[in-house]
């Protein structure tokens, strides 16, 4: 089969022929139709310090995908050949305290598809039945391929009640854009998103945010004035990982404000902890998706009219993976999807 392969602990990837995997006991094999490119994949291609410390090369990369079930192993009960499915990319141990308590997203032994074991940038992928999310209602393969990052957006956005609240989102990348759509769908009053990329800010405007703010040109405080706000934002979603984002959020929150943090900072962040304490601000770290409450919420919102299709801006056949990766790395895009069916 064709597969995008990290052959050694060094920069680069190769599109090569690899042995086709087989489904073992309790496992499901899918014919991959579409894959989404994630920031993690860009780190692995570049082989930066994070990748060198986290990735088990050699392996097939990729963890955002949608495909058709072609084989099920012994003991598989609820997934059948022909099902259209996406996959939860975090494989958990099932026996640690959090797994046994039903908090699988907090498993201390999580293994990542496309990071610690062969992934989905290939014509076929195998994963445990427990990680397969079958689409019981019609979903386009392109959309099914981005359920993983969509889940990050939903997990972050739904961390706190949003009905009638004023929401600030820092970072207008694909996950921030999807989170903005979720916040609007569930009933936020104002949704403001910040970035410094004209392309992504314009994309955010086209997706219906109340204000897309270039923070290199205008302050968040000024945005509050433009919207007639007088007490600060109620909820903030930090998606950028930029060192200046969290201090800016804290400075613009109402007393009792709540912050969900998904963006991974590249360096330590200085924060006004006195303000956090005296304003009774809640900070919550977010990682991945809740298994599987987030997945149920995703499917339910799509069925009830949520649309995130516009976040997908570029599509390429898998053979053009280098162009696809370059587009994703440029930032002049939303979500980039690769087609493995051609």
Tokens of 281: 């601000």
Among residues 146, 237, 209, 220, the alpha carbon closest in space to that of 201 is found at 209
Question: Does residue 233 contact residue 192 with C-beta atoms inside 8 Å?
Answer: yes
Establish whether 327 is a catalytic residue: no
Active-site entry in 35, 40, 170, 194: 40
Element of type H or E holding 278: helix 273-278
Establish whether 279 is a catalytic residue: no
Gap between the Cα atoms of 239 and 261, Å rounded: 7
**φ, ψ of residue 238 in degrees (nearest 5):** -95, 110
Gap between the Cα atoms of 253 and 194, Å rounded: 15
Tokens of 129: 């039945």
Among residues 6, 89, 2, the alpha carbon closest in space to that of 45 is found at 6
Tokens of 127: 């994963």
DSSP code per residue over 230-253: SS-EEEEEE-S--TTHHHHHHHTE
Gap between the Cα atoms of 76 and 22, Å rounded: 14
Active-site entry in 43, 185, 279, 314: 43
Question: Does residue 337 contact residue 314 with C-beta atoms inside 8 Å?
Answer: yes
**φ, ψ of residue 59 in degrees (nearest 5):** -165, 165
CA dist list (Å): 278 to 103, 140, 216, 232, 273: 31, 48, 29, 15, 9
Gap between the Cα atoms of 298 and 182, Å rounded: 9
- For the annotated catalytic residues, the residue numbers are 40, 43
């Amino acid at each position: 089969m064709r597969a995008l392969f990290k052959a050694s602990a060094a920069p680069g990837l190769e599109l090569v022929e690899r042995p086709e995997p087989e489904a073992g006991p309790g496992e499901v094999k899918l014919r991959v139709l579409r894959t989404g490119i994630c920031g993690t994949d860009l780190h692995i291609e570049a082989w930066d310090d994070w990748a060198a410390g986290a990735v088990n090369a050699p392996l097939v990369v990729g963890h955002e995908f949608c495909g058709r079930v072609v084989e099920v192993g012994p003991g598989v009960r609820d997934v059948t050949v022909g099902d259209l499915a996406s996959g939860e990319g975090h494989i958990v141990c099932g026996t640690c305290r959090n797994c046994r308590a039903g908090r699988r997203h907090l498993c201390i032994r999580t293994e990542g598809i496309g990071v610690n074991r062969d992934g989905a940038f290939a014509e076929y992928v195998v994963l445990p039945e427990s990680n397969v999310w079958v689409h019981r209602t019609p979903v386009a393969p392109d959309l099914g391929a981005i359920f993983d990052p969509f889940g990050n957006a939903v997990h972050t956005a739904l961390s706190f009640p949003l009905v009638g609240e004023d929401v600030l989102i820092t970072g207008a990348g694909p996950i921030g854009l999807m989170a903005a759509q979720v916040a609007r769908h569930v009933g936020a009053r104002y949704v403001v998103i910040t970035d410094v990329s004209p392309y992504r800010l314009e994309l955010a405007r086209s997706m219906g945010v109340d204000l897309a703010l270039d923070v290199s040109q205008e302050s968040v405080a000024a945005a509050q004035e433009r919207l007639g706000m007088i007490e600060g934002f109620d909820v903030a979603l930090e998606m950028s990982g930029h060192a200046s984002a969290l201090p800016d959020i804290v400075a613009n929150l109402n007393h009792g404000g709540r912050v969900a943090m998904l963006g991974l900072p590249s360096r330590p962040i200085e924060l006004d902890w006195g303000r956090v304490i005296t304003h009774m601000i809640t900070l919550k770290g977010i990682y991945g998706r809740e298994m599987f409450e987030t997945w149920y919420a995703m499917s339910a919102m799509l069925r009830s009219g949520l649309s995130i299709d516009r976040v997908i801006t570029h599509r390429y056949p898998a053979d053009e993976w280098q162009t696809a990766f370059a587009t994703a790395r440029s930032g002049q895009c939303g979500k980039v999807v690769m087609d493995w069916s051609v």
